[in-house]
Chains A and B, each alone.
Chain A
Amino acid sequence: MIGAVWLRAPARARLHALRELYRRFFGENTPDARGRRLLAEWLSPAQRAQFEQHRYFDVIGCDTGRTYRIHYGTAANVHEIDHNGRATMGWCFVPSGFLVPGDVMLAQKIALETSETAALALANRFPPATHTEHFYRRPF
């Protein structure tokens, strides 16, 4: 059915559809997509794989060796986790200004991996049960 419609469509319409398809799947240049690309470039291969599968990735704090899970989002998206992956504390700190989720997550990763104590000193704590997985919206 779709194939028949495709064949009857004028060339210009087909070209337009093809361009739209290309734009959506390969040429995304929205702030969100740019942020995700930048984040992916700076993640380790393990973090990237984890992010692609779960929408979060783990980082190790440079000062304490504690593990933090950074979820997709722009606020209240960092959890300290225990050895079983259970969240024990939420930490809220973000770069100032209006940044997309990928940028916020990358800044949080760099801060925890290079100046953990300073980042946590300005962060607000929150109980980890405040937000469920449903709180973090699906990015893509």
Chain B
Amino acid sequence: MRRLNMATQIVMDRTGDTRHEFDPDNAEALARAERRFRELTGAGFTAALRTGPGEVTQIRSFDPTAHETLFYPRLVGG
């Protein structure tokens, strides 16, 4: 059964998105999530959090308390 305090990292991709759920109370899972955060942002992805209905903020370092983090690829001129 899914735990209520599970956190999610959402990565935009050609399938729409890929979601990585993890238990923030599990040190090993949290370390994996932090590693994923570093890999994605290192590859040019932008990380964003929802701070309210429709309100967003960008983050540049891993937030272990974030319930949901969204990653989108580097922006380019169209």
Contact = CB atoms under 8 A, between A and B. Distances in A.
Interface residues of B, number: 25
Contact of B75 (A44, A95, A113): A95
A96 B73 contact: yes
B68 to A, nearest CB: 9
Given A38-B10, A110-B48, A96 B58 contact: no
B17 A38 contact: yes
Contacts of B44: 96
Interface string A120-131: 001110000000
B32 to A, nearest CB: 22
Contacts of B17: 34-35, 38, 103
A95 B74 contact: yes
A44 B52 CA distance: 8
A65 B65 CA distance: 30
A42 interface: yes
Interface of B: 10, 12-17, 44, 46, 48, 50, 53-58, 70, 72-78
Given A35-B17, A111-B75, 4 more contacts: A31-B15, A42-B56, A45-B54, A106-B12
22 contacts: A34-B16, A34-B17, A35-B17, A37-B16, A76-B78, A92-B77, A93-B78, A95-B76, A96-B44, A98-B14, A99-B73, A102-B16, A103-B17, A103-B72, A110-B56, A110-B58, A110-B70, A111-B46, A114-B56, A123-B77, A124-B77, A124-B78
